[in-house]
Structure 1
Amino acid sequence: MITVLPLETPGLGDRTYLAHDGEVALVVDPQRDYDRVLALAEQAGVRITHVFETHIHNDYVTGGLALAREVGAAYLVNADDEVSYARTPVRDGDEIAVGAMTVRVLHTPGHTHTHLSYAVGIGGEDDGAPVAVFTGGSLLYGATGRPDLLGPDHTETLVHAQWHSARRLAEALPDPTAVYPTHGFGSFCSATPTSGEASTIGQEKRTNPALTHAEQDYVDQLLAGLDAFPAYYAHMGPANTAGPGAPDLSPPAVADPAELRRRIDAGEWVVDLRDGTAFAAGHLAGSVNFGLRGQFATYLGWLIPWGTPVTLLGDTAADVAEAQRELVRIGIDRPAAMATGDPQQWAGDDPLASFPRATFADLAAALDTETPPTVLDVRRDPERATAFIPGSAHVPIHQVLDRIAEIPDGPLWVHCAGGYRAGIVAALLRTRGWDVTAVDDAFAHAADSGVRLTTPTSEDITA
């Protein structure tokens, strides 16, 4: 019997897996903070002997190499991947014995050229027929991995390869085979939104566009739905081919108010981890806000000029430690400093900064005045394509700092789909002198709150 234990990383929308036969375990696609994997194996009472990578990841720094070295496991990576460390090379068709389990390697290009999937069965049971397949960024739940992460020169080749790879898995594996993807739980590595928390090959045959659509229809639909992905992805592949070591999760040095002010004045990022409501009510002037309860690492990594020192401000040391753990997953290895407590402690004798938060009902009232504010929509293009507020400016969150000169002066109300991104942008603009109000409300409430909406033309979406 094979037991598969998923390990969630919800901030990045990924899963790591530990599979075992009761004594021996394999790990697939471990995150950088692999101490969680070690704890899972200890809890299950099993020994890790093999660590598998489905691909050279683009959305996080792997913990695979460091994990394998620590436990003395084999580290299995596609033989065709050009990496700078010793590993156990594997190719399509290879079979690897892991305790009572047999792992069959399947080349499934599409997310990358060298992407592999791993079908796992028990030798001697049903002739070793696979009972699980670890599909990485290939076959996801109701979707597939995106094919554009290696650049536009590769996208056309990879999107067709992705269709064929999904078909190969469907043809090679029995319908009851459980599907275990790495991406697809909010990850930007998914080409389209995924559905469900579990699936099988048979279920995917009925629902997955790669298995229900003709090749060109699938290709056209997928390419039309692709949107921007986080800027920090550009640094993940090089880090993973170089061979990342174990993360240092020890606490950073504590900064006093004078040091915090010096870091802000030097252009460093001092990041307040509290929720947007608390931040707006009062914060250290010049600090920015990426609340821990949202996609913290994704948006911080997307927006920060890469290499900028980061100082973390949290209610507690536990909050700082959680943020630090999330950041090492994307290669921001060591915070420059930290501080805990409350904003008045961080500010010392300096006054706190603040800005108002509002609902869409408040926005409707503000727009129905003689001097209505400018509305800034920071949603991504596909979101704006559904509906938008007439007259609103549109700068997607990931473009705000590059297009700062385009953002209108004067009173500015910022909104997104749910409030988290609006709070981030409001904080960034507040540090630069804008008179901002963050709309902390769901866009789904806008129409019922009295805000007039319209459906855009293609020209409006990017206006």
Structure 2
Amino acid sequence: MDVIVIETTQLGDRSYLVHDGSVALVIDPQRDTDRVEAAARGAGVRITHVAETHIHNDYITGGLELARAHGASYLVNAADPVTFERQPIADGQTVRVGALSVKAVATPGHTHTHLSFIVNDGEQQAVFSGGSLLYGSVGRTDLVGTEDTLGLTHDQYASVRRLAGEAAPGAGLFPTHGFGSFCSSGPASGAGSSTIGAQLTSNHALTDPDEDHFVQELIANLTAYPSYYAHMGVANTAGPGPADLTVPEALDAGELMRRLEAGEWVVDLRRRVAFASSHLKGSVSFGYGNSFSTYLGWVMPWGEQLTLVGSRADVENAIRDLARIGVDSPDAALGTDPHFLAPRAAVASFPCVGWDGVPATRSGGADAVVDVRRTEEYAASRVAGPVNVPLHELLPRLADLPVGRLWVHCTSGYRAGIAASLLQRAGRDVVLIDARFDDAEAAGIQLEKSGVAFGGG
């Protein structure tokens, strides 16, 4: 048995191609299935089965289209209310994939109908746990609904213990979530690989003997998750269509100007410092990178027309990333020079500074520091005296911000760059603090932690 990992770092997830040298099972494929197909070609194997551990909440699956394209059996929990043809599978059932035996194990917790798969080849064993048992923790239990969270958290505690009991200690563990995905919860270890035996000694879901304590602790530490998650389960239950990854014909300058003037979402993919120095007035900054689709999908109202502006490579990558979360068919204007893209359009800018450029005294004045990190980040440690409005809450809370100039920061500068562009688009006077939060104290910025001020003047 060989396990090939297909990493989607942009969403913090993994898909898997498991094969015996001849035929293969694919587990939890992302919507851009060409990566899985390339892995299968490279291994010289034929895809005969595709399996879902659960109806995903953080991405659009490619499972249905992949199964159709290869005439493969599509293994989906018999209890899932899907409307497409699949091979229903339930707890305890076993399917043969060439020399491999694939056993379904019910592991409710992340969802009510979650399955894990234990794969054997007679010598080796591998456990594909989806959003159940992760490296150091478990999948979050609040995505189905608030009223289900308590029960699902109890389910999660029991499920991972049953799964660990059914698998051999030496079995490799291959979760779908837990690599930066907002679908994970608790103290995920950040490890790249693990075994069932290693988790038995290190995972709090397996080492905490008090189920009620585990449940209370996990629920207390659940944090905000992207708003686009609300649309993923619906699409995956209905059966999503294929991803269209083609780059559209570029918009001309006149149409681009019309969209800017109409207040449409025109997203500049360049790095935030380049955007700050010069950009088309009315555009917003979401620099292309690993966090791009998560934050754009979180901040942009669902269903809005989207126009991407940037280099062909960035636009092409952005289209792929957005397809994974169901944002289809964006338009594009190709180019990185605002003056070239729309010669008659207004061009704007805003200042970009490090911590040493932030005024030492702001209280009572016309300036305010705005921290756009999440509430739990702010609670742990913060600049003294800022306003905290998490990025994903910024647009509905614009009226909560003080008047005057706003100095915007986050952890690395990425979210602050987005926030600064949104604030300028809303007519505010902004300054981007493009600096790491961890460097603030050394620059003389006063910090607070757990309600106690610390740090230099």
| TM class, shorter-length | over 0.9
Correspondence for 1:306 among 295, 299, 302? 302
Instruction: State the match for 1:378 in structure 2.
Output: 372
Residue 193 of structure 1 deviates from its aligned partner by 4.2
What is the distance in 2 between the residues matched to 1:207 and 1:439? Answer: 39
Correspondence for 1:159 among 128, 149, 153? 153
Residue 230 of structure 1 deviates from its aligned partner by 0.3
Are 1:6 and 1:18, in contact at CA under 8 Å, matched by a contact in 2? yes
- Structure 1 gaps of 5+ residues are 459-463
Instruction: State the match for 1:38 in structure 2.
Output: 37
Instruction: State the match for 2:108 in structure 1.
Output: 109
Query: Equivalent residue of 1:5, what SS?
Result: strand
Amino acid at match of 1:85: F
Amino acid at match of 1:267: G
Provide the TM-score with structure 2 as the length reference: 0.96
Provide the TM-score with structure 1 as the length reference: 0.95
Residue 148 of structure 1 deviates from its aligned partner by 0.1
Residue 457 of structure 1 deviates from its aligned partner by 5.0
What is the distance in 2 between the residues matched to 1:266 and 1:154? Answer: 42
What is the distance in 2 between the residues matched to 1:172 and 1:259? Answer: 60
Instruction: State the match for 1:254 in structure 2.
Output: 250
- Structure 2 gaps of 5+ residues are 453-457
More displaced, 343-352 or 74-83? 343-352
What is the distance in 2 between the residues matched to 1:175 and 1:436? Answer: 55
Amino acid at match of 2:379: A
What is the distance in 2 between the residues matched to 1:351 and 1:305? Answer: 25
Instruction: State the match for 1:197 in structure 2.
Output: 192
Residue 360 of structure 1 deviates from its aligned partner by 1.7
Amino acid at match of 2:20: D
Correspondence for 2:180 among 158, 173, 186? 186
Aligned-pair identity (%): 53
Amino acid at match of 1:348: P
What is the distance in 2 between the residues matched to 1:92 and 1:430? Answer: 54
Correspondence for 1:346 among 323, 332, 341? 341
Residue 268 of structure 1 pairs with residue 264 of structure 2: yes
Are 1:271 and 1:287, in contact at CA under 8 Å, matched by a contact in 2? yes
Residue 326 of structure 1 deviates from its aligned partner by 0.3
Once superposed, what is the RMSD of the aligned Cα atoms? Answer: 1.5
Residue 333 of structure 1 pairs with residue 328 of structure 2: yes
Residue 175 of structure 1 pairs with residue 169 of structure 2: yes
Correspondence for 2:218 among 215, 222, 243? 222
Residue 371 of structure 1 deviates from its aligned partner by 4.3
More displaced, 338-347 or 433-442? 338-347
| Cα displacement string for residues 192-211 of structure 1 (whole angstroms, at most 9, x for unaligned residues) | 24221100001101110100
| Cα displacement string for residues 53-94 of structure 1 (whole angstroms, at most 9, x for unaligned residues) | 000000000000000000110000000000010100000000
Are 1:312 and 1:335, in contact at CA under 8 Å, matched by a contact in 2? yes
Instruction: State the match for 1:461 in structure 2.
Output: none
Residue 370 of structure 1 deviates from its aligned partner by 8.7
What is the distance in 1 between the residues matched to 2:186 and 2:291? Answer: 18
| Matched length | 450
More displaced, 192-201 or 240-249? 192-201
- Shift in alpha-carbon separation, 1:430–1:368, aligned structure 2, 3 A: closer
Residue 442 of structure 1 deviates from its aligned partner by 1.0
Are 1:366 and 1:372, in contact at CA under 8 Å, matched by a contact in 2? no
Segments ≥4 residues shifted beyond 4 Å:
368-372
Instruction: State the match for 1:95 in structure 2.
Output: 94
Instruction: State the match for 2:455 in structure 1.
Output: none
More strand by share: 2
Correspondence for 1:232 among 205, 212, 228? 228
Correspondence for 1:295 among 291, 302, 307? 291
Query: Equivalent residue of 1:119, what SS?
Result: strand
Q: How does 1:431-446 map to 2 (within 5 A)?
A: 431-446=425-440
Are 2:9 and 2:290, in contact at CA under 8 Å, matched by a contact in 1? no
Correspondence for 2:205 among 203, 206, 210? 210
Instruction: State the match for 1:242 in structure 2.
Output: 238
Instruction: State the match for 1:50 in structure 2.
Output: 49
Amino acid at match of 2:177: H
Amino acid at match of 2:22: E
Query: Equivalent residue of 1:6, what SS?
Result: strand
What is the distance in 1 between the residues matched to 2:54 and 2:364? Answer: 57
Are 2:10 and 2:321, in contact at CA under 8 Å, matched by a contact in 1? yes
